[in-house]
Structure 1
Amino acid sequence: MGGQAAYTPRRSVLYMPGSNERALEKAKTLPVDGLILDLEDAVAPDHKEAARENACAAVASGAYGNREVTIRVNGIGTRWHEADLAAAAAAGPAGVVVPKVGSADEVRSLVAGLEAAGAPEHTKLWAMIETPRAVFDVREIAAASPRLAVLVLGTNDLVKELHADHVPGRGPLVTALQLSLLAAREAGIAILDGVHNDVKNAEGFEAECVQGRDFGFDGKTLIHPAQVEPCNAIFAPSEDAVADARGILEAWEAGAGSGVVTHNGRMIENLHVDMARRVLAIHDVISKR
């Protein structure tokens, strides 16, 4: 399972502003795998403290079912960061998402801060990769602590830092996306693709989901509820993929000891069997949600 002990569905992870109580209520009904209750970009300075209280109360409520609920704190060096980190740790969400993590030392410092504030064992660190520095150091970042569970690409900030443009195919970002994926897979942690900004461009959004899935991302971060269902469908194994995986396993088991096994004209090896088992394990978890 990509180095993880068990598959946790993170096909769709939706940002929700912590200051918007109506949005937090709506999130309880969405078919989303995960939520990032945001204290950073989506919240004006005057509303930071109220957003912190709302997000922590939402986590403590236990009202979000099997959705993985996380809190995004304000970044290191901001005047809200330490209070955010302490409050989030005490609330005990599935994860604390930290923007603009730039080094392995910052990861270790964040983990120490979570532990000092009494974060329960299940509260993991999610590190956002949003700067050229982070991309260059992403291998060290990904391996810095067992408490780091997820890398989250901050593609908007990366585009800004690169002086690039948002273009179909995301050519300017491909190097950063692939380096981050390599680091996550080597470290055995999950990785989420960045957001698609144009919520009215359904075709462009779906193309970006397909690209992220084909690259190997576990899922995508989202900014609008309308993006959830197409994202879930694209990042789940298709019916054809499930049928093919079952066929591979049946052929493998039937041909045990025969030396050469084929399925639909293709030679099957151990690596294909491992991939088929992964597809079926993911399908099984998703089917039970």
Structure 2
Amino acid sequence: MRPRRSALYMPASNVRAIEKARGLDCDVVILDLEDAVSPDQKELAREQAVAAVREGGFGRRELVVRANGLDSEWGAADLAAIAKVRPDAVLLPKVSSPETLREARAALGNGPALWAMIETCRGIVDLPAIVDAAAATGLAVLVLGPNDLAKEMRCRPGEDRAPLLPAISQLVMCARMAGIAALDGVCNTIDDLARVEAECRQGLAWGFDGKTLIHPAQIAPANAVFSPSEEEVAWARTIVAAFDDPANAGRGAIRVSGKMVELLHRDEARRTLAIAAAVAG
């Protein structure tokens, strides 16, 4: 299990930003060729992303490249270039149908995993079909794109993101249905870290594995929120130990510290311990 508590977008057009990313405490670095790059710098960004992947030096961090859409004038060239260097994954913007995944997989061959940004109304509505193609296309992560989705919906999310909650629920449920990860969308606030933390906690409560970020200052609150607490780890160990006790062999539900726990709680406890071990590693 790889922790994905914090996934930081860095513009691939900025060499200094790429170099800085190699030393940041995020779990994922996303070299961005799309939104963070102006049209006149698209080719430069592509060249620098390819060079950065080839050079490496990102350590334990998962390295992802966000390509331009396949329907754009840069998308095909992005995938052709990325296929030669094989980052950990390619993030596809505005995925609205499984056909986008199939086209990307054909372009990339048996290379990196696919991550899909879900940021259109069609993408939300057709999520079941999109995740049904996960196994065949190597789709590993769904990423919420709240800004584009809110624009298309013409809604005004506010701090509670209430208009987006049905879409959030749909995204997380479909990710779990396919057995893949789900990352929350970005928080546009940079200076108010309490707001960032609150949005991370909301994402955790709704079932996300981590959060995409737009600034290094957001890494610490994301890592803190999406890491199991000491209390959660201790409770998980207690549950696992109780079910491992030979006296409880074959039992589907047992009493632990005055609480009734079932096998589903044991499974979730094991997942908590795996996340904690991955974070510690």
With the length of structure 2 as denominator, give the TM-score of the two structures. 0.95
Counterpart residue number, 2:191: 200
Q: In structure 2, how many angstroms separate the alpha carbons of the residues matched to 1:103 and 1:10? A: 25
Q: In structure 2, how many angstroms separate the alpha carbons of the residues matched to 1:177 and 1:201? A: 23
Matched, 1:236 2:227: yes
Matched, 1:67 2:45: no
Q: In structure 2, how many angstroms separate the alpha carbons of the residues matched to 1:216 and 1:258? A: 30
What is the aligned counterpart of 1:216 among 202, 207, 214? 207
The 4+ residue runs of structure 1 with deviation greater than 4 A are 257-260
Matched, 1:256 2:245: no
Give 1:275 shift.
0.9
Structure 2 counterpart of 1:263, one-letter code: V
CA contact (8 A) 2:9 2:212 kept: yes
Q: In structure 2, how many angstroms separate the alpha carbons of the residues matched to 1:145 and 1:207? A: 31
Identity among equivalent positions (%) equals: 51
Counterpart residue number, 2:271: 278
> Tell me, what secondary structure is at the counterpart of 2:83?
helix
Structure 2 counterpart of 1:99, one-letter code: P
Counterpart residue number, 2:15: 21
Give 1:252 shift.
2.6
Counterpart residue number, 1:3: none
CA contact (8 A) 2:117 2:144 kept: yes
Matched, 1:46 2:37: no
Q: In structure 1, how many angstroms separate the alpha carbons of the residues matched to 2:102 and 2:51? A: 27
Q: In structure 2, how many angstroms separate the alpha carbons of the residues matched to 1:111 and 1:257? A: 45
CA contact (8 A) 2:243 2:249 kept: no
Please give the per-residue CA displacement for 1:78-130, whole angstroms capped at 9, x wherever unaligned: 11111011111112111111100110122111111111xxx53xx11111100
Q: In structure 1, how many angstroms separate the alpha carbons of the residues matched to 2:73 and 2:158? A: 34
Counterpart residue number, 1:4: none
Please give the per-residue CA displacement for 1:43-93, whole angstroms capped at 9, x wherever unaligned: 111111110011111111121111111111111211111101111111211
Give 1:191 shift.
1.1
Give 1:251 shift.
2.6
Matched, 1:246 2:237: yes
Structure 2 counterpart of 1:44, one-letter code: S
Counterpart residue number, 1:127: 116
Counterpart residue number, 1:80: 74
CA contact (8 A) 1:252 1:268 kept: no
Give 1:258 shift.
9.0
**Gaps (5+ residues) in structure 1?**
1-6
Give 1:261 shift.
2.2
Equivalent residues, number: 277
> Tell me, what secondary structure is at the counterpart of 1:206?
helix
Structure 2 counterpart of 1:148, one-letter code: L
Matched, 1:143 2:136: no
Give 1:175 shift.
0.6
CA contact (8 A) 1:246 1:280 kept: yes
